[in-house]
Chain A
Amino acid sequence: MREFLEGSRAVAEAVRLCKPGVISAYPITPQTHIVEELAQMVANGELNAQFVNVESEHSAASVVLGAVATGVRAFTATSSQGLLYMAEVLFNIAGLRLPLVLTCANRAISAPINIWNDQQDSVSLRDSGWIQLYAENNQEAVDFHLMGYRLSEDKTIMLPVMVCMDGFILTHGMETVDIPDQAKVDKFLPPYKALYKLDPTAPLTMGLLADPDYYLETRFAIQETFKDVLKLIPKINVEFSSHFGRDYHDGLVEEYRTKDAEKVIVAMGSVCGTIKQAVDELRSKGKRVGLLKIISYRPFPYARVYEILKDVARVAVLDKAVSLGAYAPLAVEIKAAFFGKKKSPKVISSFVAGLGGRDITLDSIKEILRKLTQKEVSLEFIDLKPELLREEYGE
């Protein structure tokens, strides 16, 4: 049913439809509304789940780890500092091969403290063994949760999924969202049956010491499994489309007017909506521009990126996160997709924008396209205020 909902509410509805048995979370802006809604649903008896209140994100992640380890579907959500506080446990969840879906309401990282949106939190955890999907709008956020559980619990995958949605822009934004019927969701997402679980009648140990004779293989196995994830995401998307009618094509990337484009912007998350509008405006003036939206950041779809961009003359990569002291995180991946390949864009320029919630406007996007010339630029910060950089301390 199509409803006009806040993004957080829409995600809570999607999670309710997935019938998790255990939910645990700690409040943090801008994620709080999601679990507030879920707590309400549990209290009202609309969702038959145990809601565990905890004293920190580290505990919240540990509770859901324990729950999934006993064979129960679980859910948690967090943001920013909370995600970093969970980090240790997140590596454990992936390392133990436990399926889980976590919503990351993307927010900047302290210091200085900032509650607004960028993608530094989830990007900082790109190496944790979690599958990361980035939503452009609230409908995608809803759908990625449904697909997330399917993907995560697939017997060949058994890896956790992080659904990343931009804080405030999506979590607090009101949009019309199609919330599917329970019956349809039940058909698409059967109850979770664990391959292995903690059970006193059949004892086993998870996460035991793996000395140098074993550890390397566990990491190799996750790396190999990510190749299977790249193959499975498109299959699940085909199935999803047949159940719910929405088509995300291969579900790894979205091409927007890239076919004959001379300039393409690559980006992730809600900013893609703004870029699409800028692309439409410029196309109507005869400019051949397009957008490549990355949905799956982990695993990274190098082959798809290569196929789509190999004949494009100029590519601009827009990062909403940085890897301080190195090239921007998304730009690195796009460049890597062409390293040592026969074909490549002549220019792959890298831009950083929107950190700490600085609005990325239509003008910002047009500025990026203006700066996408024959001269390749790297780590070009958009909308910088030079007057704020004059402060100096010390002698």
Chain B
Amino acid sequence: MFGPLIVKPGSSKGDKTGSWRIKSSPRFLRKNCIGCKMCLAVCPEGCIEGKEKNTYSCDYNYCKGCGLCALVCPKDDIVMQEETAEDKKK
């Protein structure tokens, strides 16, 4: 038996480190977004995507819930919401 001998390049994408998130996660309200890309630029995980205004989202498989996107948003269009263990499984 060998187990996961991680051998192919780029395999770290398979590490769903979003499981480390312990308290809250960002919700992208998509109401007042002006497409400034500040959230995308500030995200330390690089897991926020979006092009036009009101299209931004984050990949919860990698989001650590640090809250920087919510803090930086000039329109307060991203809010941090408490998250239970049940929520995380969704």
Contacts and interface: CB of A to CB of B under 8 A. Distances in A.
B42 to A, nearest CB: 23
A218 B9 contact: no
Contact of B19 (A213, A218, A220): A213
Interface in A160-214: 196, 203-206, 208-214
A97 B5 contact: yes
A34 interface: no
A49 interface: no
B7 A204 contact: yes
A225 interface: yes
Given A211-B17, A213-B19, A220 B12 contact: no
A205 B3 contact: no
Contacts of B1: 220-221, 224-225, 228
Contacts of A221: 1-3
Contacts of B5: 96-97, 196, 206, 218
B4 A217 contact: yes
A196 B9 CA distance: 14
A96 B5 CA distance: 7
B6 interface: yes
Contacts of B17: 211, 213
B15 interface: yes
A158 interface: yes
A69 to B, nearest CB: 11
A259 B1 CA distance: 36
A210 B4 contact: yes
Interface residues of A, number: 24
B6 A214 contact: yes
B84 interface: no
A19 to B, nearest CB: 26
Contact of A97 (B2, B9, B11, B16): B2
Interface in B1-39: 1-9, 11-12, 15-17, 19
Contact of A217 (B3, B8, B11, B12): B3
B59 to A, nearest CB: 16
Nearest to B6: A208
Interface string B47-59: 0000000000000
A214 B15 CA distance: 8
25 contacts: A96-B5, A196-B5, A203-B9, A204-B7, A205-B6, A206-B5, A208-B6, A209-B6, A209-B12, A210-B4, A211-B15, A213-B15, A213-B16, A213-B17, A214-B3, A217-B3, A218-B3, A218-B4, A218-B5, A221-B1, A221-B2, A221-B3, A224-B1, A225-B2, A228-B1
Given A158-B2, A211-B17, 14 more contacts: A97-B2, A204-B9, A205-B7, A205-B8, A205-B9, A209-B12, A209-B15, A212-B19, A217-B4, A220-B1, A221-B2, A221-B3, A225-B1, A225-B2
Interface of A: 96-97, 158, 196, 203-206, 208-214, 217-222, 224-225, 228
